[in-house]
């Protein structure tokens, strides 16, 4: 299947199922799945760059890291990939500065135009799903207050970023409310992926 894209930004509120859908896409397309959290954890585990480790550690207190740190990590990670390696980015770009950098950097690597998939979900449904997950997984951080705080942060950053990406990428808004397989079919149809 010849694709006219090699980079996907997947975004959506917590509970929207974007991680699950990103993994489906990576399996289908042979793309690499890159999450910001995953990249940060890898750096902390390897512990080969003490300066960078110090910059990343505040993440463990739930603090959003500055764009400069995010960009430093992204630059190294993407530059190390083969230019033909497809990528699905999950959880990045979160802010306009990150989006701006990534689009310029990907273009400088001679990559194809970027696709943005925004899996939209009403806030009350995000809260319902996250509370359900907290109950099942006994996650201490998933209190109603904690969930609402995370969603507040997300909404403050993501809305302007998505508006920015609408004008800069091939942008698809996907309804995240239906069942997982229905959302998957919507994404496949948007991207022109057929089994």
Element spanning 28, H or E: helix 18-29
The per-residue pLDDT of the chain, averaged, comes to 90
DSSP letter at 113? P
Query: What pTM was computed for the model?
Result: 0.90
Query: Can you tell me the mean pLDDT for 94-107?
Result: 93
Give just the sign of the alpha carbon dihedral 74, 79, 82, 83. Answer: positive
Query: Can you tell me the mean pLDDT for 36-40?
Result: 87
pLDDT in tens, 125-183: 999 999 998 888 876 667 888 888 888 988 888 889 999 999 999 999 999 999 999 99
For residues 38 and 46, what is the distance between their CA atoms, to the nearest angstrom? 12
Q: Which residue has the higher pLDDT, 49 or 10?
A: 10
Contact by Cβ (8 Å): 144, 127: yes
pLDDT in tens, 47-58: 888 888 888 887
Query: Which residues are bridge partners to 171 per DSSP?
Result: 116
Contact by Cβ (8 Å): 36, 70: yes
Does the pLDDT of residue 44 top 70, yes or no? Answer: yes
Q: 52-86 as b/e, with b when 16 or more CB fall inside 10 Å?
A: beebbeebeeeeebebebbbbbbeebbeeeeeeeb
Q: 99-132 as b/e, with b when 16 or more CB fall inside 10 Å?
A: bbbbbeebeeeebeebbbbbbebeeeebbebbee
Contact by Cβ (8 Å): 180, 16: no
Which pLDDT score is estimated for 50?
A: 86
All domains of the chain, ordered by start, with CATH?
7-189 (3.40.50.300)
| Token pair in block for residue 166 | 């609408």
Contact by Cβ (8 Å): 176, 119: yes
Does the pLDDT of residue 38 top 70, yes or no? Answer: yes
Query: Can you tell me the mean pLDDT for 58-87?
Result: 86
């Amino acid at each position: 299947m010849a694709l006219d894209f090699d980079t996907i930004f997947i975004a959506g509120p917590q509970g929207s199922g974007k991680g699950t859908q990103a993994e489906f896409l990576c399996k289908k397309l042979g793309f690499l799945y890159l999450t910001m959290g995953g990249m940060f954890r890898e750096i902390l585990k390897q512990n080969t760059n003490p300066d960078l480790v110090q910059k990343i550690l505040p993440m463990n207190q739930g603090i959003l890291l500055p764009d400069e740190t995010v960009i430093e990590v992204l630059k190294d990670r993407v530059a190390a990939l083969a230019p033909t390696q497809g990528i699905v980015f999950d959880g990045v770009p979160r802010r306009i500065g990150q989006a701006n950098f990534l689009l310029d950097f990907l273009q400088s690597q001679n990559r194809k135009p970027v696709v943005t998939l925004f899996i939209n979900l009403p806030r009350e449904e995000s809260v319902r799903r996250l509370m359900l997950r907290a109950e099942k997984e006994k996650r201490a951080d998933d209190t109603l207050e904690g969930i609402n705080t995370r969603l507040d942060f997300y909404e403050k950053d993501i809305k302007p970023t998505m508006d920015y990406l609408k004008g800069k990428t091939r942008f698809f808004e996907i309804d995240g409310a239906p069942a997982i397989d229905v959302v998957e079919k919507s994404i496949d149809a948007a991207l022109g992926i057929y089994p």
